[in-house]
Structure 1
Amino acid sequence: RHMASGQTRKWTRFFQVILDTSAGFWARQTQQVGSLQFPELLDALCILTNAALSSATETRFEFLVADESGSHVVFPSEEVLLGTSSESTVENLRRNLVRVLRERGERADDATD
């Protein structure tokens, strides 16, 4: 199953990362991503993931990504943090993000177009 035109769908709202460190400190980062297209969104999420991993010993992630129609994708840390090293975590994030965005994108394309 491949996304054709859906690959350039723009995810325009924001994503959110919640950091839970071992000290019990919670930090919430919400960052506008503008009109980033699919590959750029992946890069932005991976950059932020790397930054979070290097600054927290125990990190809990929640990604909230909304497209232009207002539908969103949420990633709990259970889906993202499957690896033990930051490299495998980023790869898992990429795979999971691609999978969910494809599924949501196909459904949205079927419904709206």
Structure 2
Amino acid sequence: MSIEIDWMAFLSVFAAALVGAVMIVTLYALGLRMLVRAGRVPVVTPAEFTDAITVLSAKEIRRAAKQAEKAARKNPLTEAQKTLAFLAAICCFVLCAAAVAGGILLIVIGH
């Protein structure tokens, strides 16, 4: 009994996975960048876990939110440019979600 590997199929799956991963990471990073340029800096309060290495205090969280508000006020873009950057961010996030959903559909439905 011998096992044969179809190396061309392996390489095509590897290339598709690599391109998909790079595309998803790039779209997400570009979406975050456009969101910041639009003046909507995402401030996420950290979850507190019992075994967390670092837990931010309430003071540190308030300081981060204050810095985000200050950065949003210093934005040199006009309102039209901010709106365009926000729409670009939404488009990037939608494309990222579509790529993930497409990958899941290929796994579930495809062969």
Q: What TM-score do the two structures reach when normalised by structure 2? A: 0.30
Say which structure, 1 or 2, has more relative contact order (CA 8 Å, 6+ apart). Answer: 2
Q: Which one has the bigger strand percentage?
A: 1
- Structure (1 or 2) with the larger CA radius of gyration: 2
